[in-house]
Structure 1
Amino acid sequence: MTEPVPALPPKLEAIASLFRSAPKPLRLQALLEYSRKLPPVPGKYLEHPEFMQPVPECASPFFLVTEQEAGTVKMFFKVPEEAPTVRGYAGILTEGLQGATPEEILSVPDQFYMEMGLSELITPMRLRGMGAILHRLKNAVRENAAH
């Protein structure tokens, strides 16, 4: 008997569904749109970058930080403008998971982005970086939950 695939949190599922159903050129356009929607990192983290965790597996300089309050997670990603596909993925995670519970974030399948058709748009090296971003995000959520 196979294990049921955990459902994505509703906002992330809506984004993933949009990508799955869109033709390849529209998927790329949507990814670029998400790169433009990525919110800026709050000044307190820009002034104290030591609180941001690097994602060294990413080809682009990528940093993340999470905050937990009232049972929900806030996340912030610092990604250069010159890395629009990775910024787009960060934008998808932000829009799809901002305000989710730690349990919802931890239940996201590690390779959910593969089902979105991103492998047709992005190099394997960037896809590995995306996997590392989600892995590091989950680790940060676990660490915050432990405190």
Structure 2
Amino acid sequence: MTEDELPESLAEIRDDFLDLPEPERLQLLLEFSQELPEAPPEYADHPELYERVAECQSPVFIAIELEGDVVTMHATAPEEAPTTRGFASILAQGLSGLTAAEVLAVPDDFPQSIGLTRVVSPLRISGMTGMLLRAKRQVRAKAMM
């Protein structure tokens, strides 16, 4: 998948970051952290529906739903970890609504493409990459059911 083939939702997010000077990108990431969609109530009492993202230092959990061929990503991340929460929000907003094939075609290096590699630590970028890879693995597993 080339840069131009990135799903529109993720391409828009990437472009929003790249259009800003580097110092302002962190502020946009913090804004995303405040926009992490709430998971549906049925997930609150069932933590087993989530998968822990071990690559993240903070406790981040994701769950993928596949209804027909449409993906919805749910994520939880603590408010005291705004960078990680921002990354989870970017992926939840960017992947939800895509088809399974579109999610699976997202380049694994998408987190490196949004212009934050010099603003946040490599460990944090690695955490976002871990979230994306786990989301893709869950999509693959659910699509095969």
Asked if TM exceeds 0.5, the reply is yes
Q: Find the counterpart in structure 2 of residue 26 from structure 1.
A: 24
Contact kept, 8 Å, 1:66 with 1:75, in 2: the verdict is yes
Equivalent position of 2:108 in the other structure: 110
Residue pair 1:65, 1:76 contacting (<8 A) in 2 also: yes
Shift of 1:42: 1.7
Aligned residues: 144
Runs of 4+, deviation exceeding 6 Å: none
Report the CA distance between 1:137 and its aligned residue: 0.5
Correspondence list, 1:1-147, <5 A = 5=2, 7-147=5-145
Length-normalised TM-score, structure 2: 0.94
Deviations along 1:5-43, one digit per CA (max 9) or x if unpaired, are 262100110110111121012211110111000011222
CA distance in 2, matches of 1:71, 1:133: 20
How far apart in 1 are the matches of 2:123 and 2:74? 23
Between the aligned partners of 1:118 and 1:144, the Cα distance in structure 2 is: 31
TM-score (norm 1): 0.93
1: distance between equivalents of 2:81 and 2:9?
A: 24
Identity of aligned residues (%): 44
User: What are structure 1's unaligned runs of at least 5 residues?
Assistant: none
Q: CA RMSD in A?
A: 1.2
Gaps in structure 2 of 5+ consecutive residues? none
